[in-house]
């Protein structure tokens, strides 16, 4: 379309002055192909393309044996229950934006495509920080609320920091990456509630196209009369699930439910043989079909001369499922499947979704995995799966649940797959701290560097250490120990720790503390042992959230606690070995004991964590305060522990792209994969914990045994011990 001269002059002037064009020119200049478009503050069509290597931290193949077990190093056959080959399910810890990007452009993409691609994605993205990151932990008969850690709070800030704009930006980028990973015949279900359903619907239309929107499913969560009254509005009792497909040709299996008994009684009649039947309109069947029905004695002749079609109840599939789901109740707190996870969805909900939009053997994914419901149901239904979450506690909860599923399927003599726990490992600190280093990004780089310096200064002040210069990895010094500080926005990686050790050796530093909010899974104690071999004493310490509390810093109340300590004892019996846990020490603090005692109301109580002790603080009606220890013994801190009876039997390989050939090549990290061969853990239904493993038969010779302990907060610690197995 040719514009009038005056409009051309106006547009030229605005462009020369660097001013935005009025909205009226959008469709005039660029056409009307998109009649509707979603716009938000800061919108960009750029989607991250960073590819980071996945590290395999743990491999869970066969669920734990209950009795004496033989070493199977040379016996990987069908009789052992171990998986010989094929797809291994994946549980991934990390930011799902970078997980999705690395799946899309990394070496795992080829493996996914070999499985036919991802056929179904179900996600339940965050919309309530309390529900998504806060968790109730049972200690005896009391409950301790686990607060979100710094990484989880940063994720929430990034999601909701600018209100709806930042939520839309977060979900838009992730949905764009998910669409790319979906197979052409794949589907996606996005779960939401009243707070975000309208936002997600508009984003889904933008990414997938409104023509590929199949259903807006309303799920009535509570049992009848379970909804709570709300002032001046109708009580809320339902969530929304948006169902889209990638193309018009997609997997679909119609779902049915049993007929309601009232409906059966009103519509069906017993014949002479006792079979229930009803008579339907004959419909548009051809004359030939009607003759075939008559030969089957399925035609009913009315006195008027009309005919009907006899339908038997025992042959009917049932009532077709509609987009209103009122027959799926929420998870009861006493149900066997309950994990105590606030956002947990019932397995029956996922059974319906997975059954409708996938077939046996298909690959399913959930990138906000929560308590692992999607993966657990996928395993039970014979599907392959990928699950990921930012929360380490989520990964831990899912791991326990999936091991339980393996045990159940094994007991029922049904097949199941191995799964592995992965990290987005070997983080490139320069990328995450400064972003891309192109010329256009110079200003952002300077800004990020200033923020990093301010963060380092804050931590050094809280740690009561002095600033030092001239080092690559050290930021301060406390007494005779140098201080290194991990990143604020991601777990401290092995690569980071190795840099610290290398500089220690290079500059004759013999003692160093490494501070971080979160540590990569499986990082310690191996990294400390490696440092010790090089003459370096490394101590890893957690940075508490209190560093952001000025009053806590001023009062010297900020406590940096060490990683946990494990003590074990091996037991030998001829050529077999068992492992016993003797001690486990933690040094956590959550909440201020002093502030709690001052602020608690008369007749009330609260639970706090003070230097590795969980305490119930109570105040009676007269204002008298008392403290009751809830962690009465060291084992109260343990939620899960497991054993690898031959730790160095499987090298950890990561795939790194060769810049010259463009191909991905295997590279040994120098570490080993933890083969989870025996485990004991607590569930909501069973709080007991065994402290001694079974006896495991081993080949004679030297080997290393690894013991992994996960505490009630979801933090993992590992200990490796050398042993010598005598011959028979």
Q: Which CATH class is domain 54-225+238-255+321-424?
A: alpha beta
What is the rounded distance in angstroms from the CA atom of residue 680 to the CA atom of residue 62? Answer: 14
pLDDT (average), residues 584-612: 83
Q: Can you read off the two tokens belonging to residue 70?
A: 């033989």
What is the rounded distance in angstroms from the CA atom of residue 342 to the CA atom of residue 358? Answer: 27
State the DSSP string of 642-675. Answer: EEETTGGGSEEEEEEE-TTT--EEEEEEEEE-EE
Please check the confidence at residue 434 and state whether its pLDDT lies above 60: no
Please check the confidence at residue 53 and state whether its pLDDT lies above 50: yes
What is the rounded distance in angstroms from the CA atom of residue 187 to the CA atom of residue 245? Answer: 4
What is the rounded distance in angstroms from the CA atom of residue 359 to the CA atom of residue 381? Answer: 9
Please check the confidence at residue 73 and state whether its pLDDT lies above 50: no
pLDDT at residue number 430: 38
pLDDT at residue number 431: 38
pLDDT at residue number 653: 84
Please check the confidence at residue 695 and state whether its pLDDT lies above 80: yes
pLDDT band at 437 (very low <50, low <70, confident <90, very high): very low
Please check the confidence at residue 340 and state whether its pLDDT lies above 80: no
Mean pLDDT is lowest, of 540-549, 598-607, 692-701, for 540-549
pLDDT at residue number 432: 37
> Residue 492's closest CA among 546, 435, 445, 425?
425
pLDDT band at 705 (very low <50, low <70, confident <90, very high): very high
pLDDT (average), residues 404-428: 84
Q: Can you read off the two tokens belonging to residue 186?
A: 């794949």
pLDDT at residue number 654: 82
Please check the confidence at residue 225 and state whether its pLDDT lies above 60: no
pLDDT at residue number 144: 77
The string of pLDDT tens digits covering residues 637-664 is 999 999 999 998 888 888 888 877 878 8
- Using CA atoms, how far residue 155 sits from 37, 148, 160, in Å, is 27, 10, 9
Please check the confidence at residue 704 and state whether its pLDDT lies above 80: yes
The string of pLDDT tens digits covering residues 518-545 is 888 877 666 888 899 999 999 999 888 7
3-class secondary structure, 676: coil
pLDDT (average), residues 38-66: 81
The string of pLDDT tens digits covering residues 488-515 is 777 888 888 889 999 999 999 999 999 9
H or E stretch covering 200: helix 197-208
pLDDT band at 3 (very low <50, low <70, confident <90, very high): confident
> Residue 673's closest CA among 636, 704, 637?
704
DSSP state of 212: G
pLDDT (average), residues 51-72: 76
Burial of residue 314, with CB atoms counted within 10 A of its CB: 0-12 exposed, 13-18 middle, 19 or more buried: exposed
Task: Classify the C-alpha dihedral 137-143-148-150 as positive or negative.
Answer: negative
Q: How many CA atoms lie within 13 A of 634 on its CB side?
A: 14
Q: Can you read off the two tokens belonging to residue 489?
A: 């926005």
State the DSSP string of 497-517. Answer: HHHHHHHHHHTT--EEEEEES
Burial 47-82 (b: 16+ CB within 10 A, else e): bbeebbbbbbbbbbbbbbeeeebebbeeeeeeeebe
Please check the confidence at residue 77 and state whether its pLDDT lies above 50: no
pLDDT at residue number 136: 75
> Residue 142's closest CA among 618, 471, 578, 533?
618
- Using CA atoms, how far residue 39 sits from 176, 296, 423, in Å, is 16, 61, 34
State the DSSP string of 265-283. Answer: HHH-EE-TTS-EEEEEE-T
H or E stretch covering 433: helix 429-434
pLDDT band at 27 (very low <50, low <70, confident <90, very high): low
H or E stretch covering 599: helix 593-599
Which residue has better confidence, 629 or 362? Answer: 362
Of 351-355, 630-634, 723-727, which one has max mean pLDDT? 351-355
Q: CB-based contacts of 216: which residues, under 8 Å, 6+ apart?
A: 201, 240, 241, 242, 243, 323
The string of pLDDT tens digits covering residues 162-187 is 777 888 888 999 999 999 999 999 99
pLDDT at residue number 224: 52
Which residue has better confidence, 327 or 88? Answer: 88
Q: To which residue do tokens 């991990």 refer? A: 486
Which residue has better confidence, 567 or 70? Answer: 567
Contact of 288 with 294, CB cutoff 8 Å: no
Burial 117-149 (b: 16+ CB within 10 A, else e): bbbbbbbbbbbebeebbebebebeeeebebebb
Please check the confidence at residue 80 and state whether its pLDDT lies above 60: no
The string of pLDDT tens digits covering residues 345-377 is 899 999 999 999 999 999 999 999 999 999 999
Please check the confidence at residue 429 and state whether its pLDDT lies above 50: no
pLDDT at residue number 524: 65
What is the rounded distance in angstroms from the CA atom of residue 239 to the CA atom of residue 127? Answer: 12
3-class secondary structure, 157: helix
Please check the confidence at residue 40 and state whether its pLDDT lies above 90: no
> Residue 536's closest CA among 584, 463, 484?
484
- The neighbour count for residue 400, using CB atoms within 10 Å, is 18
Q: What is the mean pLDDT of the chain?
A: 84
For the chain, give the percent of residues with pLDDT over 70: 88
pLDDT (average), residues 331-352: 80
Please check the confidence at residue 419 and state whether its pLDDT lies above 90: yes
pLDDT at residue number 558: 80
Strands 651-657 and 664-672: antiparallel
pLDDT band at 35 (very low <50, low <70, confident <90, very high): low
pLDDT at residue number 51: 86
pLDDT at residue number 385: 97
What is the rounded distance in angstroms from the CA atom of residue 202 to the CA atom of residue 40? Answer: 11
The string of pLDDT tens digits covering residues 668-692 is 877 889 999 999 999 888 889 999 9
> Residue 491's closest CA among 454, 529, 453, 519?
519
pLDDT (average), residues 201-209: 93
Contact of 725 with 575, CB cutoff 8 Å: yes
pLDDT band at 242 (very low <50, low <70, confident <90, very high): very high
Contact of 560 with 543, CB cutoff 8 Å: yes
pLDDT band at 90 (very low <50, low <70, confident <90, very high): very high
DSSP state of 684: S
Contact of 647 with 657, CB cutoff 8 Å: no
Contact of 150 with 547, CB cutoff 8 Å: no
Q: At what angle are helices 373-380 and 347-357 packed, to 10 degrees?
A: 60
pLDDT (average), residues 434-455: 60
For the chain, give the percent of residues with pLDDT over 90: 36
Helices (H), 483-572: 494-506, 526-533, 550-554
pLDDT band at 233 (very low <50, low <70, confident <90, very high): confident
Please check the confidence at residue 341 and state whether its pLDDT lies above 80: no
Q: To which residue do tokens 């010297």 refer? A: 556
pLDDT (average), residues 299-304: 87
Please check the confidence at residue 69 and state whether its pLDDT lies above 70: no
What is the rounded distance in angstroms from the CA atom of residue 651 to the CA atom of residue 664? Answer: 18
pLDDT band at 476 (very low <50, low <70, confident <90, very high): very high
What is the rounded distance in angstroms from the CA atom of residue 519 to the CA atom of residue 526? Answer: 13
Domains of the chain, residue spans: 1-35, 54-225+238-255+321-424, 257-320, 429-519+525-562, 565-725
CATH topology of domain 429-519+525-562: Trna Endonuclease; Chain: A, domain 1 (3.40.1350)
């Amino acid at each position: 379309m040719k514009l009038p001269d005056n409009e051309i002059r106006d547009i030229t002037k605005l462009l020369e002055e660097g001013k935005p064009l009025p909205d009226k020119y959008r469709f005039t200049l660029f056409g009307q192909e998109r009649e509707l478009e979603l716009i938000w503050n800061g919108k960009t069509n750029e989607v991250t393309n960073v590819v980071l290597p996945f590290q395999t931290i743990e491999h869970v193949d066969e669920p734990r044996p209950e009795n004496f077990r033989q070493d199977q190093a040379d016996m990987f056959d069908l009789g052992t229950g171990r998986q010989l080959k094929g797809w291994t399910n994946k549980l991934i810890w990390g930011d799902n934006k970078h997980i999705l990007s690395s799946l899309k452009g990394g070496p795992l993409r080829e493996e996914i495509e070999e499985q036919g691609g991802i056929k179904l994605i179900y996600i339940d993205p965050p919309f309530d920080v309390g529900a998504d990151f806060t968790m109730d932990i049972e200690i005896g008969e009391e409950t301790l609320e686990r607060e979100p850690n710094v990484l989880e709070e940063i994720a929430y800030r990034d999601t909701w920091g600018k209100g709806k704009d930042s939520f839309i930006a977060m979900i838009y980028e992730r949905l764009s990456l998910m669409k790319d990973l979906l197979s052409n015949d794949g589907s996606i279900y996005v779960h939401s509630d009243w707070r975000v359903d309208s936002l997600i619907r508009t984003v889904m239309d933008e990414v997938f196209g409104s023509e590929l929107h199949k259903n807006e499913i309303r799920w009535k969560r509570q049992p009848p009369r379970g909804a709570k009254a709300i002032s001046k509005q109708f009580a809320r009792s339902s969530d929304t699930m948006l169902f889209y497909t990638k193309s018009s040709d997609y997997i679909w299996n119609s779902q049915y439910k049993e007929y309601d008994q009232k409906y059966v009684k009103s519509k069906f009649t017993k014949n002479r043989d006792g079979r229930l039947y009803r008579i339907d309109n004959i419909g548009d069947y051809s004359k030939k079909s009607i003759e075939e029905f008559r030969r089957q004695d399925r035609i009913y002749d009315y006195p008027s001369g009309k005919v009907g079609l006899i339908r038997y109840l025992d042959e009917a599939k049932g009532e077709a499922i509609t987009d209103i789901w009122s027959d799926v109740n929420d998870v009861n707190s006493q149900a066997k499947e309950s994990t105590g996870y606030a956002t947990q969805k019932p397995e029956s909900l996922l059974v319906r979704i997975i059954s409708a939009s996938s077939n046996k053997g298909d690959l399913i994914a959930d990138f906000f995995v929560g308590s692992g419901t999607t993966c657990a149901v996928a395993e039970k239904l014979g599907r392959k799966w990928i699950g990921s979450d930012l929360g380490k506690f989520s990964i831990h909860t899912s791991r326990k649940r999936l091991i339980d599923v393996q045990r159940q399927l094994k007991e029922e003599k049904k097949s199941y797959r191995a799964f592995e726990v992965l990290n987005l490992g070997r983080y490139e600190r320069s990328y995450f701290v400064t972003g891309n280093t192109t010329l256009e990004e110079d200003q952002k780089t300077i800004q990020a560097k200033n923020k990093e310096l301010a963060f380092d200064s804050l931590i050094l002040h809280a740690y009561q250490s002095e600033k030092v210069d001239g080092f690559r990895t050290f930021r301060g010094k406390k007494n005779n120990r140098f201080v290194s500080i991990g990143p604020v926005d991601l777990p401290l990686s092995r690569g980071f720790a190795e840099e610290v050790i290398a500089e220690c050796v290079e500059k004759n530093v013999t003692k160093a503390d490494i501070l971080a909010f979160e540590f990569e899974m499986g990082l310690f104690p191996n990294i400390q042992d490696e440092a010790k071999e090089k003459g370096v004493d490394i101590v890893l310490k957690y940075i508490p959230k209190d560093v952001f509390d000025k009053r806590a810093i001023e009062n010297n109340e900020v406590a940096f606690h060490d990683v946990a300590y494990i003590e074990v004892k091996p037991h030998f019996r001829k050529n077999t070995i068992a492992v016993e846990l003797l001690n486990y020490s933690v040094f956590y603090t959550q909440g201020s004991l002093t502030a709690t005692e001052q602020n608690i109301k008369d007749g009330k109580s609260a639970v706090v964590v003070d230097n590795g002790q969980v305490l119930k603080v109570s105040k009676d009606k007269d204002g008298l305060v008392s403290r009751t220890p809830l962690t009465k013994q060291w084992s109260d801190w343990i939620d899960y522990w497991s054993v690898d009876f031959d730790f160095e039997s499987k090298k950890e390989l990561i795939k790194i792209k060769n810049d010259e050939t463009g191909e991905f090549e295997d590279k040994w990290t120098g570490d080993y994969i933890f083969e989870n061969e025996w485990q004991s853990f607590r569930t909501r239904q069973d709080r007991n914990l065994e402290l001694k493993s079974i006896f495991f038969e081993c080949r004679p010779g030297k080997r290393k045994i690894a013991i992994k302990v996960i505490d009630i907060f979801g933090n993992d610690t590992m200990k490796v011990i050398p042993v010598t197995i005598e011959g028979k």
